[in-house]
Amino acid sequence: MATTLIKGGTVVSATGQTSADVLIDGEKIVGVLAPGSVLLGTDLAASADTVIDATGKYVIPGGIDAHTHFELPFGGTEASDSFESGTRAAAWGGTTTVVDFAVQVAGTPVPDGLAAWHEKAAGNCAIDYGFHQIIGGVDEASLAFMPKLLDEGISSYKMFMAYPGVFYSDDGQILRAMQKAAELGLLTMMHAENGPAIDVLAAQLAEAGKTTPYYHGIARAWQMEEEATHRAIMLSHLTNAPLYVVHVSAKQAVEQLAWARDRGQNVFGETCPQYLYLSLEEQLGATSKEWGDFEGAKWVCSTPLRSREEGHQDHMWQALRTNDLQMVSTDHCPFCMKGQKELGKGDFRKIPNGIGSVEHRMDLMYQGVVTGQLTLERWVELTSTTPARMFGMYGQKGVIAPGADGDVVVYDPQGHTTISAETHHMNMDHSAWEGYEIDGHVDTVLSRGKVIVDGGQYLGSKGDGRFLKRGLSQYLV
Ligand code: DUC
Ligand code: ZN
Ligand code: ZN
Ligand code: ZN
């Protein structure tokens, strides 16, 4: 089998950094060695099939984005990245594993939804992928299928307290699913927003003629996120089901999570780059020549961008430092302005919700290191190691150690990128971060030992990525 030596770099893990060479044999890492090691009389640099010079660069475990929506049907259209384009864009950005959401909607069998997702993904992915299961209809049949999820390699499922009539579960349904999850060891993921109240607020705004994208963020008030987060926490407490709250954007929701964790509950939270960088005022309120006051549609997502004046963004960064939040995923759910977002011209309720950033998560979070808000180790922990542990992949993924998959990124701290829709690889006609200057650059990406991105070239192919069967969360005591 072909061997690769990544030499001269600084290997960064969640717990430290060290100068070391990384040896990969076939698909697996077989050694993390003192620089320039001669092993059993063999000069590794001379004998490896491929040598990658990482001098002056960081060598990190490939990123794991545990929240993507490729090809998701939503709001009368479908997320614009396919598994093929989305996973390839992820690879460009140093992400070597994604966990997407298979969708079951009320009244349909869960296994059908899961099978449909396998069909979309199989043979199309650039990198390894797993699934969470969305349960959009909690009933006897879906509850009966929950024990089978583990056999399918799916150890986490998601419910929605938002989107009545689409994915929504009421409290009784959530309680029943959580009781089952507690019994099985499944991790419950929650979209925590009070959907019924938000829909009333949104209708009132629309009736009052307040129809621009900005009002999406007003309707989805932080009180509705705090309240739902609290409710999910109490249902989790009652049922003893571990809880993972997705896309946290309100500082008050973080406070709820911190409160629950301080009480000893197994409650976790994820935020996304958009909630760290972007705001209600600057983005949802934006206007342009081309789109006028509809420009803000580019940034319509749920949970929504929050007010910078109210300090949500700073609080998210702080929560990442203090471990009140444990992970950063993207909630990558791209829609083009043309033909998709513009479905909501004249009524913000019809704008498909979502932002695409699967390609830029590693870069955007590295800026936290550049600005002194995160350590290098915390960067790796938030973007790779914790996702692996949280979702039952650690050992194989999320770490550079013998026995792990050869999913490795060589990251150049001297590099530079300007984010733009002109150059990104996602299937989107705009970027939520257009013009952002990024310090640092993904140079080389290996997926199970194969170099798939190198020096500005894509060397992988469709179908390189395999379905990843995950085990139980390794983050729980
Ligand atoms: N939020 C989004 O922004 N898009 C898809 C679903 C969701 O909850
Ligand atoms: Zn959601
Ligand atoms: Zn999502
Ligand atoms: Zn570079």
pLDDT tens string 410-460: 999 999 999 999 999 999 999 999 999 999 999 999 999 999 999 899 999
Ligand nearest to the Cα of 456, by number: 4
Q: What is the pLDDT of residues 287-341, one digit of tens each?
A: 999 999 999 999 999 999 999 999 999 999 999 999 999 999 999 999 999 999 9
Q: What is the pLDDT of residues 118-132, one digit of tens each?
A: 999 999 999 999 999
Residue to probe by mutation, ligand 1, list 191, 353, 428, most atoms within 8 Å of CB: 353
pLDDT above 70: percentage of residues in the chain: 100
The reply to whether ligand 1 has any atom less than 6 angstroms from the CB of 113 is no
| C-alpha–C-alpha distance, residues 232 and 180, integer Å | 15
Residue with tokens 């999320």: 398
- How many CA atoms lie within 13 Å of 451's alpha carbon, on the beta-carbon side? 19
* Residue 68 alpha carbon to ligand 3 centre in Å: 6
Residue with tokens 């309100």: 250
Give the pLDDT band of residue 44 (cuts 50, 70, 90).
confident
ipTM topping 0.90: yes
The reply to whether ligand 1 has any atom less than 6 angstroms from the CB of 191 is yes
| C-alpha–C-alpha distance, residues 352 and 358, integer Å | 18
If one counts every other C-beta atom within 10 angstroms of the C-beta of residue 212, the result is: 23
Tell me, what's the pLDDT at 36? 87
The reply to whether ligand 1 has any atom less than 6 angstroms from the CB of 216 is no
* Residue 246 alpha carbon to ligand 2 centre in Å: 6
Specify the ligand 1 atom closest to the Cα of 72: 5
Specify the ligand 1 atom closest to the Cα of 301: 3
Q: Where are the alpha helices (DSSP H) in 30-124?
A: 44-47, 83-92, 110-121
Give the pLDDT band of residue 40 (cuts 50, 70, 90).
confident
Q: Give the chain's mean pLDDT.
A: 97
Q: Where are the domains of the chain?
A: 3-60+402-416+432-458, 63-389
Task: State if pTM tops 0.90.
Answer: yes
Q: What is the pLDDT of residues 370-405, one digit of tens each?
A: 999 999 999 999 999 999 999 999 999 999 999 999
The reply to whether ligand 1 has any atom less than 6 angstroms from the CB of 378 is no
Q: From atom 1 of ligand 1, which residue's Cα is the shortest distance away?
A: 302
Residue to probe by mutation, ligand 1, list 331, 332, 351, most atoms within 8 Å of CB: 331
The reply to whether ligand 1 has any atom less than 6 angstroms from the CB of 195 is no
The reply to whether ligand 1 has any atom less than 6 angstroms from the CB of 67 is no
CA-based torsion, 423, 426, 432, 433: positive or negative? negative
Q: Region 90-104: what's the mean pLDDT?
A: 98
φ/ψ of residue 367, rounded to 5: -60, -25
Tell me, what's the pLDDT at 45? 81
Tell me, what's the pLDDT at 1? 79
Fold of 63-389: TIM Barrel (3.20.20)
Tell me, what's the pLDDT at 474? 97
* Residue 474 alpha carbon to ligand 2 centre in Å: 23
* Residue 45 alpha carbon to ligand 1 centre in Å: 47
If one counts every other C-beta atom within 10 angstroms of the C-beta of residue 372, the result is: 7
Q: From atom 4 of ligand 1, which residue's Cα is the shortest distance away?
A: 354
The reply to whether ligand 1 has any atom less than 6 angstroms from the CB of 69 is yes
Q: Where are the alpha helices (DSSP H) in 263-400?
A: 273-277, 312-322, 361-370, 376-380, 386-390
Q: What is the pLDDT of residues 207-260, one digit of tens each?
A: 999 999 999 999 999 999 999 999 999 999 999 999 999 999 999 999 999 999
Specify the ligand 1 atom closest to the Cα of 160: 8
The reply to whether ligand 1 has any atom less than 6 angstroms from the CB of 354 is yes
Tell me, what's the pLDDT at 395? 98
Residue 162: pLDDT over 80: yes
Query: Tokens at residue 443, please?
Result: 């140079």
Q: From atom 8 of ligand 1, which residue's Cα is the shortest distance away?
A: 302
Q: Kindly indicate whether the domain formed by 3-60+402-416+432-458 is annotated with CATH number 2.102.10.10.
A: no
The reply to whether ligand 1 has any atom less than 6 angstroms from the CB of 272 is no
* Residue 154 alpha carbon to ligand 3 centre in Å: 17
Give the pLDDT band of residue 203 (cuts 50, 70, 90).
very high
Q: Which residue has the higher pLDDT, 38 or 457?
A: 457
Tell me, what's the pLDDT at 43? 84
